[in-house]
Amino acid sequence: MHVVLVQPEIAPNTGAIVRLCANTGCDLHLIEPLGFELTDPLLRRGGLDYHEYVSVQVHPALDDLLAALPGRSFGFSSWASRAYTEIEFAPDDVFVFGAERSGLPGAAKALIPEHQLLVIPMRAGNRSLNLANAASVVVYEAWRQHGFSGASRDRSGLTSETPSADPFDT
């Protein structure tokens, strides 16, 4: 699976998505311009020490990236009418998310077939989920559909923040 962030603006959100991708086996693609430098301490802090466990690539344009990736592209927008839960995801699918303040730009939506524009349901009157939370919801649903392929089945994959500490879920 591939997670694509189109013009992300907030370094800690992208850092959290780095961590998400490292823990789920996704590749992360960032579409320029970025609202931060890749050396930003907040990006590193959000991703903790997971940067070495994930492929992060920066691309100048979304259209070239989508043409190069083999899977179907799904865009996420509060304006879409089809819920992400209606999809049977494939292991090579591409999940495209917009920037924190503006969402998925119209030019990006135009590159994705309308039936592949998806919404994450929310209560009425709310604008959006946090970008890292939205990506997590979708990635974990897709990963669940594939039996959490590659997941740890022992204590090494639990929720402890430090390897030497007891996990939270004991």
Measure the CA–CA gap between 6 and 146, rounded to whole angstroms: 26
Q: Which fold has domain 2-157?
A: Alpha/beta knot (3.40.1280)
**Tally of CB atoms within 10 A around 158:** 12
How would you write the pLDDT of the chain (170 residues) with one tens digit per residue? 999 999 999 999 999 999 999 999 999 999 999 999 888 777 777 666 788 889 999 999 999 999 999 999 999 998 899 999 999 999 999 999 999 999 999 999 999 999 999 999 999 988 889 999 999 999 999 999 999 999 987 766 555 555 554 444 44
pTM greater than 0.85 (yes/no): yes
Tell me the helix, strand and coil percentages in the chain, rounded to 5. Answer: 35, 15, 50
Q: Where are the domains of the chain?
A: 2-157
C-alpha 23 chain-centroid distance: 12
